[in-house]
Structure 1
Amino acid sequence: MFSSLKIRNYRLFATGQVVSNTGTWMQRIAQDWLVLTLTGSASAVGITIALQFLPMLLFGLYGGVLADRLPKRPLLLATQSAMALTGIALAVLTLTGEVQVWHVYLTAFLLGLVTVVDNPARQTFVAEMVGPDQLGNAVSLNSANFQSARLVGPAVAGVLITAVGSGYAFLFNGLSFLAPIASLLLMRTADLHKVERAPRGKGQLREGLRYVSSRPELIWPIVLIGFVGTFGFNFPIWLTAFVHDVYDSGASTYGLLNTLMAVGSLAGALLAARRATSRLRILVGAAVLFGALEIVAALAPEFWIFALLMVLVGMFGLTVNVTANSSIQMATDPAVRGRVMSLFMMVFVGGTPLGGPLFGWITDAYGPRVGLALGGAISLAAALGVGLLLARSGGLRLKVDLRRGHKHLAFVPKQREESLTAAV
């Protein structure tokens, strides 16, 4: 489960990331709650999220081109430093009492611009630290790292917001980037696996898109993650609305729900780290369960039922993300991995500028239960559709066998099924 941590460079990277990720989660909670406090509107929270991820939608593929061309360690030093400055700027505005909602909008957009380059560079730098044999394990542990921080960050942010306000959560986030910067500086560059960088040239963006479009094992998981990310991952909107409108509670309850989701997400990441391979059937099955659980959670009559379901939603949502991420990375040529992963992240988080305001409006107009149920229904339908398309492209068909002791539903090769029919 933890085999890639034996590698010194990756161990340094993971240590720095857990500190930075804790600060990131603190800022996310504080940012969402600050916007809701300033405006009283779930739509405003949706706009904030949309602005943070809009640059990924607009420029995400260009970030992948830069990640393929440039040395990733110096690139990450620059992006992590810039992200630190955005957190400190928002902290100063909030602590001095000058913060307005447009300040939050602006810093969210600037953070999104930096993330356009940081995300594909950070995703693909993992392969340089651990090599191809440990790539799947390291990708899963990255997600476990992120979710471990999510266990601590929301809880600490809820206490800080209640006690002294949002400003100190922003300050902690800005300072937390010192840890990954230090880890990058301490790495042994001689131990990094050499990856051929793409030379500067025309048509590299189109080359990456053609590469993905010609491979069903890449394009359909990316399509699925796009639907799930756009319509099923609007939790800042739904959870703030459930806490504020349904359960009439405060920031500490919002932090609790995020922490419970993190418990499930961490479990999903660790289970993924145990698996030697990332199969597409696991991706589709997890997406089906994720969508179905969101629908059930939307109908939960009591808070404690809703809270427990968030653990399961977190577990299967993270399984979808990790399985898609690792399967795509391992199926991709290293020379185009930055562009492929930028496309993956573009459709996963870049759909938020579309889904965020839409579901913010639906949540304001029809209530959080309708918004969450609709997001789950769209995710479920997308998972079923992509599952059938993947089976078709892989030459499989669904076999139904209702006899006792037999697997009732299974995908089997078409030729095998046809030969069995002929034999009968």
Structure 2
Amino acid sequence: MAHVNLSALQTLLRALRGRNYRLYCAGQGISLVGTWMQQVAMSWLVYRMTGSAYLLGVVGFASRAPTFLLAPFAGVLADRWNRHHLLMLTQALAMLQAALLAAAVLYGVIQVWHIVVLCLLLGAITALEIPARQTLVVELVDREHLGNAIALNSSMVHISQLIGPAVAGMLVASVGEGVCFILNGASYLAVLLALAAMRLPPSPHLKSPRRRVLQELRDGVTYSFGFRPIRNLLLLIALLSLVGTPYSVLLPVFAKELLHGDAHTFGFMMTAGAGGALAGTAYLASRKSVLGHPGLIVVSGVSFALGIGAFALSTNIVLSLASLTLAGFGIMTLAATSNTVLQTILEEDKRGRVMSLYATAWMVFPFGSYLVGVLADLIGPRWTILLGAACCLVGTFLFGRYLPRMRAQVHTIYLKMGIIKDPA
């Protein structure tokens, strides 16, 4: 039995056999805890200062709108520049942003417009960071371990989401938001040290011929939307980002006004979603093959929609946490599965651009955040989230209608790449 358990654990963590990927996970894991602490503390700070769901939406918009606008160009840079060095630069800049936010809070001069400006700055930094990080992971592991590495990377995000919001809730309630921002700034040292310790061979994509930035961007868009499996994935993600995932913007409203809780309640709600997401990553990491991933995208989309729909209707904290757990499982499984499918079927010299469009699809979120803030004031938070859940169900159904053809196209690519063997 012990041998079986050890074998299962080795399968679950097989991507960690690589030294560079172990360093990446160690540094990124610590930094992500700080990131979640800052996100929770910032949302609570804005709502405490203003009591406005609308301004929560504005701040959510400001933190992600620059990423939406700049990520496609950042993808071109990720295909041109050294991704390792680019990631180090972004982490240093993010540490500076956290330090500025902490100073403004601790000196008692913070205003909402300060938060908006600093969120815009962080969004621009994130635009550079996302394609560099997404594409660097491929260079840190063997191709056969890519799906496992992406699942473990997602599990890191959600383990940190389990820890960060809970710690932030306690710190905000006891000593205030400023300490959370200080700890987030300090956490970037871990990822910078880990990146500096890596030993990486020259990147093959740096040898590709270069053209004008706009021409390379156009080539990436044409390639992505000209191939139906990539196009359908990007469109589904964009829909869920616009009408589904912005439910998180309204969590402070549900915690305080509808469930009559406080910062601890808000932290527990964030943690519940992370718990479901972590269960999803554990399941995906345990899978030995990428076969069956397209079908999982449909299942996870339905799970997410049902989860946020049930949360919107709930008046009980236990049911609310259970619903958020289901939603977290669904959206994480969809994100990691779609990421794995994309990373295994796209062409290497266009990886940065395709993954930047993938990031852009997720970054439709700020527009959804703004829309959610407006709708919550007009029709109430419950109906706003229910409407989003219904749209997610419809979108997932439309994606599912194309699923048999997508499976056939992806199967053909997997055969050419040697991921699966031809039965003949």
TM-score, normalised to structure 1, is 0.90
Match of 1:44 in 2: 55
- Which deviations, in whole Å up to 9, do the C-alpha atoms of 1:165-186 show, x marking residues without a partner? 1001011111100001000111
Residue 340 of structure 2 is aligned with which of 326, 330, 337?
Answer: 326
Per-residue deviation at 1:193? 6.6
AA partner of residue 352 (structure 2): G
Match of 1:199 in 2: 209
AA partner of residue 244 (structure 1): K
8 Å Cα contact 1:32/1:236 also seen in 2: no
Structure 1 segment 38-77 matched on structure 2, within 5 A: 38-77=49-88
State whether structure 2 residue 355 is matched by structure 1 residue 338: no
Secondary structure class of the residue paired with 1:248: coil
Match of 1:421 in 2: none
Structure 1 segment 25-424 matched on structure 2, within 5 A: 25-190=36-201, 194-202=204-212, 203-275=215-287, 276-277=289-290, 279-349=293-363, 351-391=364-404
AA partner of residue 156 (structure 1): V
Aligned residues: 394
Secondary structure class of the residue paired with 1:234: helix
Instruction: Work out the CA distance in 2 between the residues paired with 1:291 and 1:64.
Output: 30
Per-residue deviation at 1:93? 0.3
- Which deviations, in whole Å up to 9, do the C-alpha atoms of 1:12-40 show, x marking residues without a partner? 00000010000000000001001111111
Q: Per the alignment, do residues 262 and 331 of structure 1 end up closer, same or farther by CA in structure 2, a change over 3 Å counting?
A: same
8 Å Cα contact 2:303/2:326 also seen in 1: no
Per-residue deviation at 1:395? 7.5
Secondary structure class of the residue paired with 1:189: coil
TM-score, normalised to structure 2, is 0.90
Q: Per the alignment, do residues 77 and 393 of structure 1 end up closer, same or farther by CA in structure 2, a change over 3 Å counting?
A: closer
Instruction: Work out the CA distance in 2 between the residues paired with 1:146 and 1:395.
Output: 32
AA partner of residue 316 (structure 2): E
Match of 1:412 in 2: none
- Which deviations, in whole Å up to 9, do the C-alpha atoms of 1:181-234 show, x marking residues without a partner? 0001111124x7744554331210111011112211211011101111111111
Q: Which has the higher helix share?
A: 2
8 Å Cα contact 2:68/2:360 also seen in 1: yes
Question: Among the aligned pairs, what percent are the same residue?
Answer: 35
Instruction: Work out the CA distance in 2 between the residues paired with 1:269 and 1:347.
Output: 21
Instruction: Work out the CA distance in 1 between the residues paired with 2:178 and 2:144.
Output: 43
8 Å Cα contact 2:78/2:131 also seen in 1: yes
Match of 2:412 in 1: none
Secondary structure class of the residue paired with 1:188: coil
Deviates more, 1:235-244 or 1:93-102: 235-244
Instruction: Work out the CA distance in 1 between the residues paired with 2:81 and 2:98.
Output: 26
| Unmatched segments (≥5 aa) in structure 2 | 1-11, 410-424
Per-residue deviation at 1:391? 3.6
CA RMSD, 1 decimal: 1.5
8 Å Cα contact 1:292/1:376 also seen in 2: yes
Instruction: Work out the CA distance in 2 between the residues paired with 1:131 and 1:120.
Output: 19
Secondary structure class of the residue paired with 2:402: helix
Instruction: Work out the CA distance in 1 between the residues paired with 2:219 and 2:171.
Output: 48
AA partner of residue 157 (structure 1): A
Q: Per the alignment, do residues 198 and 64 of structure 1 end up closer, same or farther by CA in structure 2, a change over 3 Å counting?
A: farther
Secondary structure class of the residue paired with 2:137: helix
8 Å Cα contact 1:56/1:115 also seen in 2: yes
Match of 2:419 in 1: none
Instruction: Work out the CA distance in 2 between the residues paired with 1:242 and 1:228.
Output: 20
AA partner of residue 341 (structure 2): S
- Which deviations, in whole Å up to 9, do the C-alpha atoms of 1:338-375 show, x marking residues without a partner? 000000010112x1221111111112222221121111
